[in-house]
Structure 1
Amino acid sequence: MFAGHFGLAAAVKAKEPGTPLWALMLGTQLLDVLFVPLLLSGVESFDPAGGTGYREAVIHADYTHSLTGALLIAVLASLAGGKAWGRRSGLVLGSVVFSHWLLDLLVHRADLPILPGNLGQLPLLGLGLWQFPWLSMALEAALIVLGAILYFRSALSRSAAAPHGASRARLAGGVMTLLLALALVTDVLGIG
């Protein structure tokens, strides 16, 4: 779902031009960014569940990808974004951060805890769309197409009055579309 998260960020940027694109892109991946140091330190882990690639693993991200952990990270991101770019951008950024967990809920097998560290051994969450590769790829492709279209339209409408604005907007929209498509290819091939 790596690419799908980015597609969502592009769609949000189209509707919220005051929030920096880099912050939205980072926000959609913040849970995974925080997962890396915890993975390297052994606090969180993943186990292959047959085959190779991220989709084929059981993730033990008991802190970054727990429901309450994701909510806490989203609130902290919202506060930081609000301080940097205003209250509205802070709320948007917090929502984008939490959207990562919501999208992961759709695709992950049941490996997402409710409480950090899986306190109380509550049932793990995940609907497991990764077990149906074509369905999960279709969802991801839909997010990318939606994000690319909305971003492209928004860039065109914002730059229509500026000299050479339309050509710059087409270039920006084309680059965004290309990057989103490449992200999808890496996801499909199991590179990301």
Structure 2
Amino acid sequence: MIAGHFGLAAAVKGREPQVPLWALMLATVWLDILFVPLFLLGAETITVPEGEAAGYGHAIIHADYTHSLLGALLLSALFGWLAARRWGKRAGWILGAVSFSHWLLDLVVHRADMPWLPANWGDLPRLGLGLWRSPVASAVVEAALVALGAWLYWRAVQTLPSQAGRGRLVAALIAIGGLGTLALDVSGVAG
């Protein structure tokens, strides 16, 4: 869903031009960035169920801190607070919401492996709608998010008065398209 997250960042950039695109893209993957050190420390894990092939959508991700509902809310609030200190209150709210959108998009694609509370405290039923079980369907959803985001961004930049602004648009669209293609390729869907 990395490509889809970046597509959402482009869509928000189209509506909120004052928020830096790089900050929006960082916000969309903030939870995954924090997952990495916890994964390396063994606090969060990835397993493949016995009898299934490793690959796109087959893993069960035990991101019990970064991808729990409460954990995602708290980490997104932290991101928004840090952003507000740099770019103001409005940008902070936007970036905090974009950060939390990661959890919402993951809810659609993940198997039921996302807990309500950090460390799955209370052993509540886990969340996830499991779109990853259909790699083609999840790739279509991601591609749609990237296309929609790029289109909304393109539309917004058409109002820029200068050629320099349009040049930045082309560079950003190339970056979004390249990152989206790379994300799909790494996940094993495109290649």
Contact 1:7 1:143 in 2 (8 A): yes
Q: Report what 2:117 is aligned to.
A: 115
Q: Report what 1:189 is aligned to.
A: 188
> Aligned pair in 2 of structure 1 residues 187, 156: CA closer, same or farther (>3 Å)?
farther
Q: CA RMSD in A?
A: 1.9
Q: CA offsets per residue over residues 151-178 of structure 1, 9 Å max, x none?
A: 12222322xx22x347515632541453
Counterpart Cα distance in 2 of 1:147 and 1:137: 15
Q: Report what 2:170 is aligned to.
A: 171
Q: Report what 2:156 is aligned to.
A: 154
Q: Report what 2:72 is aligned to.
A: 70
Letter in 2 for 1:122: L
With normalisation by structure 1, the TM-score equals 0.90
Identity over aligned pairs, percent: 51
Q: 2:141 aligns with which of 124, 139, 163?
A: 139
Shift of 1:86: 0.6
Shift of 1:6: 0.6
Shift of 1:125: 0.3
Shift of 1:52: 2.0
Structure 2 unaligned regions, length at least 5: none
Instruction: Give the number of equivalent residue pairs.
Output: 188
Shift of 1:5: 0.4
Contact 1:155 1:169 in 2 (8 A): no
**What SS does the aligned partner of 2:121 have?**
helix
Q: Which has the higher contact order (CA 8 A, sep 6+)?
A: 2
Q: CA offsets per residue over residues 40-99 of structure 1, 9 Å max, x none?
A: 000100101322235210001000000000000011111111111011100000000000
**What SS does the aligned partner of 1:52 have?**
coil
Counterpart Cα distance in 2 of 1:13 and 1:53: 32
Counterpart Cα distance in 2 of 1:151 and 1:86: 22
Shift of 1:139: 0.9
Misfit runs of 4+, over 6 Å? none
Contact 1:7 1:145 in 2 (8 A): yes
Contact 1:129 1:135 in 2 (8 A): yes
Structure 1 unaligned regions, length at least 5: none
Counterpart Cα distance in 2 of 1:184 and 1:19: 23
Counterpart Cα distance in 2 of 1:125 and 1:176: 32
Shift of 1:105: 0.4
Question: Quick check: 178-187 or 61-70, which moved more?
Answer: 178-187
**If each structure's helix is expressed as a fraction of its own residues, which one has the higher value?**
1
Counterpart Cα distance in 2 of 1:177 and 1:43: 31
Contact 2:116 2:127 in 1 (8 A): yes
Shift of 1:185: 3.2
Residues 37-52 of structure 1 aligned to structure 2 (within 5 Å): 37-49=37-49, 50-52=52-54
With normalisation by structure 2, the TM-score equals 0.91
Contact 1:13 1:151 in 2 (8 A): yes
